[in-house]
Amino acid sequence: MKIIDILKKPEMSLSFEVFPPKKETGYESVREATEKIAALKPAFMSVTYGAGGGTSKYTLEIGKNIQDKYNVPLLAHLTCISSNRETVAGQIALMKEAGIRNVMALRGDIPEELAGEDRSGWDYHHAIELVRQLREDGCDFCIGGACYPEVHPESANQAEDIRHLREKVEAGVEFLTTQMVFDNSLFFTFLYKLREAGVTVPVIPGIMPITNGNQVERAIRLSGAFMPQRFKTMVDKFGQDPEAMKQVGIIYATDQILDLYANGITNVHVYSMNKPEVAEGILKNLSKILGKDFTA
């Protein structure tokens, strides 16, 4: 099933993101965790590609397992910046062969060791080039793209970032998923600006449940997202108690999702980070609202 068809439905839905293992030895535990999340029957699941150290070679394997065994629609991520057109074309062919219908077309982060290099000779500079390649290839993929309510760190300002985003959408992106947001008002302001700039595709807010006190610093560093004082106070109070902190993260994320639903957003994406208990906790909290019993 294509993600865009899920997003067009009027009912509220939740999707979850997982990432492939960093090493072959971690494969079984990731497979088990992602299967537990798939068994909860989310609206769809996304599998990252080379993010956070996860190897790209397992994206398809993990994704195909979810799709084929649990019949959960899959969104397979694909990055291009450290690659060349031939390798990417090979990856696209593998996706087609695996029956994948949805691709998240991403640039990827520029590796630190290459940050200062002259990149003019590289095959890719921005995600839009990957979007065009996917479209030129004549594939019937539903293509998603990333967006940044608090501005991508490389952009000089939000107007420039939104202008590039609009070009990416015009090139063939059918929906957008945001970088993690911890303050919904930042998402709503961004959505308003996108609509004002003529970006009309569905925009899915990305919610990251912080269930470990040590995650806070890393999440802020990697995403540049604003962390409300209200949440920081909760971390100060409960961050050293792992079980309490897990509950705090689930409740805070549930509260954000509920606020989004109440204000007319129908689809929310959760950065569930291979944690089935977190996915299940959020779904159980919302079972009456979503009208489903989410016991795996």
According to the binding rule CB under 6 A, does residue 152 interact with ligand FAD? yes
Residue of 5, 32, 154, 217 interacting with ligand FAD (CB under 6 A): 154
Size of interface with ligand FAD, in residues (CB under 6 A): 23
Q: Name the residue nearer to ligand FAD (CB basis): 12 or 128.
A: 128
What is d(CA 183, CA 168) in angstroms, rounded to the nearest whole number?
A: 25
- Spatial neighbors of 288 by CB under 8 A, at least 6 apart, are none
Strand ranges (E), the chain: 13-18, 45-47, 74-79, 102-106, 142-147, 175-180, 203-207, 267-270
Q: Name the residue nearer to ligand FAD (CB basis): 63 or 239.
A: 63
According to the binding rule CB under 6 A, does residue 177 interact with ligand FAD? yes
According to the binding rule CB under 6 A, does residue 161 interact with ligand FAD? yes
According to the binding rule CB under 6 A, does residue 143 interact with ligand FAD? no
According to the binding rule CB under 6 A, does residue 203 interact with ligand FAD? no
What is d(CA 87, CA 133) in angstroms, rounded to the nearest whole number?
A: 12
Instruction: Using alpha carbons only, give the angle 39, 282, 65 rounded to the nearest 5 degrees.
Output: 25
Beta carbon of residue 59, minimum distance to ligand FAD (angstroms, whole number): 8
Beta carbon of residue 240, minimum distance to ligand FAD (angstroms, whole number): 30
Which of these segments, 22-30, 47-55, 62-70, 87-95, binds ligand FAD (CB under 6 A)?
Answer: 47-55
What is d(CA 278, CA 269) in angstroms, rounded to the nearest whole number?
A: 13
Q: Name the residue nearer to ligand FAD (CB basis): 162 or 245.
A: 162
What is d(CA 264, CA 54) in angstroms, rounded to the nearest whole number?
A: 34
Instruction: Give the pair of three-digit tokens for residue 14.
Output: 């939740």
Beta carbon of residue 114, minimum distance to ligand FAD (angstroms, whole number): 13
Q: Scanning residues 26 to 45, which ones bind ligand FAD (CB under 6 A)? A: none
Site string for ligand FAD, 71-90 (x = CB under 6 A): ------x-x-----------
Beta carbon of residue 237, minimum distance to ligand FAD (angstroms, whole number): 30
The alpha carbon of residue 9 and the mean position of all alpha carbons in its chain are separated, in whole angstroms, by 20
Q: Helix, strand, coil: what percent of the chain each, to 5?
A: 50, 15, 35
What is d(CA 34, CA 47) in angstroms, rounded to the nearest whole number?
A: 9
Residue 17 annotated in active site: yes
What is d(CA 51, CA 77) in angstroms, rounded to the nearest whole number?
A: 9
The catalytic residues are 17
Q: Which residues bind ligand FAD (CB under 6 A)?
A: 48-51, 77, 79, 106-109, 126-128, 146, 152, 154-155, 161, 164, 168, 177, 179, 206
